[in-house]
Amino acid sequence: MPAFGQRPIQITADLTDAPRKVYHADAEIPVAAGPITLITPQWIPGNHRPTGPVSDITGVVFTANGQTLPWRRDDVNLYEFHLTVPEGVETLHAHLDCIVTARVSQKLAVLEWEKLLLYPADTPVREIAIQPSLKVPAGWGIGTALTPVSSGTYPVPAAGTTTEFAATNVEQLEDSPVITGEYFHEFALAPTITPKHYIDVASDNPEDSNLRPAVLAEISNLVREADALYESHHYHVYHFLLTLSDVAGGEGLEHGQSSNNGVGEKGYADDDHTLSNADLLPHEFTHSWNGKYRRPAGLYQPDFATAQQGALLWVYEGMTEYLGDVLAARAGFETQGQYRDELAMMAAQLDYRTGRDWRSTEDTAVAASDLRGGNPAWSNWRRGQDYYQEGELLWLDADTLIRKMTNGKKSLNDFLRIFLAKGGNTGPMIVPYKFDELVEDLNAVVPYDWAKFLHDRIDNINPHADVAGIEQGGYKLVFQDKPTATERTMNRANGPRMSGPDCWFSIGIRVSNDGMIGDVRWNGPADKARLAPGEKILAVDGKIFSGDALREAIRTAKGSSEPIHLIVQADSFVNLADIDYHDGERFPALVRADGTPDTLDEITKPLTTPEKAPAEAKKDDE
Ligand SMILES: [Zn+2]
């Protein structure tokens, strides 16, 4: 391909129409005369699937020397645009719009650059130079890890019309989102740590983006804890980008030098909500090391057109899930007790995931691009993206095993300082790995048959979840007749619409507070009573359905021989169903195993001296 050389594409993203759900872009693309193919991204890093925006791209017009040039879409690869550049033309102008309905509201917007990118196909994206500029609505603040040309530092200066950023390449620009908003705050974090860290917050309400001192202290703790845990970094600067909005949607998307995070308006407004979002920032931050810097070879392709392969997602996501939860506790987003309660819920969910009888954890990773989202019906039998939580249990197992084999002298921390720190401190870059490197680095910590350890847990059909880490950690997974304090707090924070009565481990259904059945546990008591996802429970034991009425019926049936009587609406018919279940309510919890060391609490102890806002120190609920 000629002439893309050193002259960068110049792209200007125009977000001034963001409240109307459309972004615009104009790009000057260096070209040579002759046929050219431009392409827009398809396989988006971090999404692990082909979520490129091609179906939302509209208003595409190419011009050169004032003339509009005809184009034709490729008949097979719909992401490609073919056109012919006339003689004498060295710069092609491209305009496009993208319809954007998520991560945007009347008061804020997030730009992931793949929505606006067009660049030469068949060239590795890291070899295509590009210089970005940005227009936002007047008075809106800007947060990004891109370097502003005018100041070279942060906050990004309030520009009159257009803010210019330093040239980079297409791979890095795709990895450098922008947040902008009317109610915007940028806070510097953990001032003793280099390089610099910031959190940029945009909210729909003026007061929300001014985060509480306690939350800022926890985020600064997170920066210090990650610094102590990973003993390396792979960025020149790090920006947590955060939206607080009930409109812009939830998000957690990792990038090398930033992360794109979205929670509800009140997501960090009090301790209950903070607990529900405890692992979000630690998880996405950890990805800068695990996922962005170190990436499974199959998930790193030279362009955004080649399919990504997910087989090692139980490392990319699974280990990040483990470290994110551990860091959430170490940084103070949650207490050690809340960490254990959440671990109990997670392990119990996996142990009762009936699909584990037919498909391995590895298969959920290989099929990842097909498993995200989708219909909840029978999802326990299908399995979902279980490599996240299965990976968490696996890495907890490995961590506690290393501690046990070395009498507490070594831990997974030592593995991380090998695996995630190769090359020392670097700027943003991607160093791919394969399975054998994991085994080699684990062996460098403590010799063991790590290949068998990993294969047994990941590749095999395992009818039960891996609770060895919990047991090596000094605890047992049990079921009690009351939910843990943490489960009650999370239900309170999630609100009555999201949290129906928890009867998954008893009669085996997920049901909302208005009686809609989301899922039925395969082979569970409700399955045997022929209930199905999508049905609606109208009445229970002669009373109109409510979450409380169902829970009372489950308690009443305990020790009795009388089944639980339901009246159920199925499509346009009404059925009777009897659930023959008599073991009462069941909620997961961890209890101490007598005479064993409390390794779980040892794992979640901070490595650094925590910074706490006065009078905000948390304690475990009763
Ligand atoms: Zn992740």
341-364, pLDDT tens digit by residue?
Answer: 999 999 999 999 999 999 999 999
Confidence (pLDDT) at 403: 98
Residues 553 and 585 sit within 8 Å (Cβ to Cβ):
no
Contacts of 272 (CB under 8 A, 6+ apart): 489, 492, 493
Rounded Cα gap, residues 87 and 347, in angstroms? 65
Distance 318 CA to ligand 1 centre (A): 8
Distance 19 CA to ligand 1 centre (A): 28
Residues 189 and 183 sit within 8 Å (Cβ to Cβ):
no
Confidence (pLDDT) at 491: 87
The alpha carbon of residue 414 and the mean position of all alpha carbons in its chain are separated, in whole angstroms, by: 25
Distance 345 CA to ligand 1 centre (A): 19
Q: Specify which residues 69 forms β-bridges with.
A: 62
Rounded Cα gap, residues 488 and 484, in angstroms? 6
Rounded Cα gap, residues 112 and 120, in angstroms? 19
Print the SS3 string covering 455-487.
HHHHCCCCCCCCCHHHHHCCEEEEEECCCCHHH
Residue type, 63: T
Stretch (H or E) spanning 34: strand 34-39
Distance 165 CA to ligand 1 centre (A): 28
Distance 253 CA to ligand 1 centre (A): 7
Give the pairing type, strands 197-203 and 238-244: parallel
Residues 477 and 348 sit within 8 Å (Cβ to Cβ):
yes
Which residues of the chain carry a pLDDT beneath 50?
1-4, 614-615, 622
Distance 371 CA to ligand 1 centre (A): 15
- 3-state DSSP assignment of residue 262: strand
Rounded Cα gap, residues 330 and 229, in angstroms? 11
- Strands (DSSP E) found in 373-440: 431-433
> Helix, strand, coil shares of the chain as percentages rounded to 5?
30, 25, 45
- 3-state DSSP assignment of residue 552: helix
Rounded Cα gap, residues 440 and 415, in angstroms? 10
Distance 530 CA to ligand 1 centre (A): 36
Distance 41 CA to ligand 1 centre (A): 20
Per-residue pLDDT of 101-129, as tens digits, reads: 999 999 999 999 999 999 999 899 999 99
Distance 206 CA to ligand 1 centre (A): 29
Residues 267 and 240 sit within 8 Å (Cβ to Cβ):
no
Confidence (pLDDT) at 499: 77
Distance 20 CA to ligand 1 centre (A): 30
Closest CA to 118 of 175, 68, 61, 160: 61
CB atoms within 10 A of CB 249: 16
Rounded Cα gap, residues 79 and 39, in angstroms? 6
By the 10 Å C-beta count (0-12 exposed, 13-18 middle, 19+ buried), 238 is classed as: buried
Closest CA to 230 of 29, 506, 448, 415: 415
Distance 584 CA to ligand 1 centre (A): 36
Please provide the DSSP assignment of 478-535 as one string.
EEESS--HHHHHHHHHHHHHH---EETTTT-EEE-TT-BEEEE-TTSHHHHTT--TT-
Distance 320 CA to ligand 1 centre (A): 6
Distance 284 CA to ligand 1 centre (A): 6
Rounded Cα gap, residues 367 and 219, in angstroms? 34
Structure tokens at 314: 């139980």
Q: Phi/psi of residue 371, each to 5°?
A: -105, -15
Confidence (pLDDT) at 4: 46
Confidence (pLDDT) at 570: 98
Distance 366 CA to ligand 1 centre (A): 16
* Total length of the chain: 622
Q: What is the pTM of this model?
A: 0.96
Residue 26's alpha-carbon distances to 104, 134, 275, in angstroms, are 20, 10, 42
Distance 290 CA to ligand 1 centre (A): 9
Closest CA to 310 of 319, 302, 300, 320: 300
Residue with tokens 């949650």: 334
- 3-state DSSP assignment of residue 10: strand
Distance 47 CA to ligand 1 centre (A): 9
Distance 469 CA to ligand 1 centre (A): 21
Structure tokens at 165: 């950023």
